[in-house]
């Protein structure tokens, strides 16, 4: 999941993507646009485990086809079938994911005169993760939080991580705008297994210090020469 900026007062938009992949195709996917109320200050003072969130729109593959669900706090959600699916439509399902993400990216960026770094990072990582060779090269990227260098780690890793992934193992893709480079973080049981099941020993990433940024953590953990990096 990643943030779509810029924020409007205390409201911020987030994008959550879930997909099931087979033979390089996204065959079971859901793309959800979520509205969040509050930021780090509200999180720290509220005492809650996560901030208030509500769905705005959701695109998903269902038995009826690819559908769009629109949520309204004043009335029931409404669903619209965008494309009916039939047996053997695997490539159409895969293409449908790209079409929705392209539409969201174009419509969101058209709202603002200047590119927003969070939006760039969110859609940039989604595009990068679309490449099968990239997913194969970094197999531990799962339940991934997309962030940028100056993001406060407790806000991203703890609040957003708990809100979307609860107690699951999680990872982070951190965009370093000044370097035009990605850095990756892993934690939990998934980070202790390599692709072939052999044990590896990446550093554990628990609850970060409040003043830590995602970029600082990424640089700390990725200080070895054999950690994955990706430039765009």
Give CA–CA dist 1/34, Å, rounded: 10
CB 4 within 8 A of CB 117: no
Count CA within 13 A, CB hemisphere, residue 1.
21
Residues 212-229 have a mean pLDDT of 72
- Report pLDDT digits (tens) over 93-134: 999 999 999 999 999 999 999 999 999 999 999 999 999 999
CB 26 within 8 A of CB 94: yes
Name the residue with tokens 């809100």: 163
Cis omega before residue 28 (within 30°)? Answer: no
Q: What pTM does this model have?
A: 0.85
Give CA–CA dist 167/183, Å, rounded: 23
In the predicted model, is pLDDT for residue 183 greater than 80?
A: yes
DSSP H helices in the chain: 40-46, 90-109, 117-129, 132-137, 153, 161-165, 214-221
- Report pLDDT digits (tens) over 26-63: 999 999 999 999 988 898 888 888 899 999 999 999 99
88 or 192, which is more confident: 88
Predicted local confidence at residue 124, as pLDDT: 96
Spatial CB neighbours of 113, under 8 Å, sequence gap ≥ 6 = none
């Amino acid at each position: 999941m990643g943030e779509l900026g810029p924020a409007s007062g205390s409201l911020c938009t987030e994008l959550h993507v879930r997909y099931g992949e087979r033979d390089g195709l996204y065959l079971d996917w859901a793309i959800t646009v979520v509205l969040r109320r509050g930021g780090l200050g509200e999180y720290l003072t509220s005492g809650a485990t996560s901030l208030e969130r509500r769905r705005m729109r959701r695109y998903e593959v269902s038995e009826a086809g690819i559908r769009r669900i629109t949520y309204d706090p004043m009335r029931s959600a409404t669903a619209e079938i965008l494309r009916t699916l039939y047996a053997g439509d695997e490539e159409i399902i895969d293409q449908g994911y790209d079409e929705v993400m392209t539409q969201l990216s174009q419509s969101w960026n058209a709202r603002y005169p200047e590119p927003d770094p969070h939006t760039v990072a969110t859609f940039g990582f989604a595009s990068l993760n679309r490449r099968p060779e990239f997913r194969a090269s970094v197999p531990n990227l799962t339940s991934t939080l997309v962030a940028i260098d100056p993001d406060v780690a407790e806000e991203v890793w703890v609040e957003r991580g708990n809100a979307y992934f609860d107690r699951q193992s999680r990872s982070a893709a951190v965009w370093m705008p000044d370097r035009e480079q990605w850095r990756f973080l892993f934690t939990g049981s998934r980070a202790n297994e390599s692709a072939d099941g052999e044990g590896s020993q990446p550093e554990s990433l628990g609850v970060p210090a409040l003043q830590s940024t995602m970029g600082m953590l990424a640089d700390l953990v990725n200080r070895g020469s054999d950690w994955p990096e990706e430039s765009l």
